[in-house]
Amino acid sequence: MKVNIDKCMHCGACVGTCPQNAVYLNDVVLTFNERCNRCGLCVKTCPVGALKLEAKA
Partner 1 sequence: MKTDYDVIVVGAGPAGSMTAMHAAKGGARVLMIEKRQEIGSSLRCAEGISKKGLDKVEIQVDRRWVSSEVAGAKIVSPNGSVFRIDERQAGDEVGMVLERHLFDKAIAAKAAHVGVEIKLKCSATDVIMEKGKVVGIKGIDNGEPYKLTAGCVVAADGYESQVARWAGVETKLKPGDITTCFQYRMTNLKTEPDYCEFILGSTAPGGYVWVFPKGDDTANVGIGVLLSKLKRPGEVKAYLDKFIKKDPRLNCGQPLEALAGAVSVSVPLEKTVADGLMIVGDAARVIDPITGGGIANGCMTGFIGGKVLAKCVEANDFSEKMLMEYDAGWRENMEERLYRNWMAKEKFLTLSDQTLDSVIDTLSTAGVDKMSVFNILKAIKEKHPELVKEFEDLI
Closer CB to partner 1, 24 or 38, in the complex? 24
Answer yes or no: are the C-beta atoms of 48 and 5 closer than 8 Å: no
- Tally the residues of the chain: 57
- Is residue 48 within 8 A of residue 8, CB to CB? The reply is yes
Instruction: In the chain, count H helices and then E strands.
Output: 2, 4
Nearer residue to partner 1 within complex by CB, 27 or 34: 27
**26 near partner 1, judged by CB under 8 A:** yes
Options 2, 5, 38, 47; binder of partner 1; rule CB under 8 A = 47
The footprint of partner 1 (CB under 8 A) covers 7, 9-13, 15-17, 19, 21, 24-27, 41, 43-52
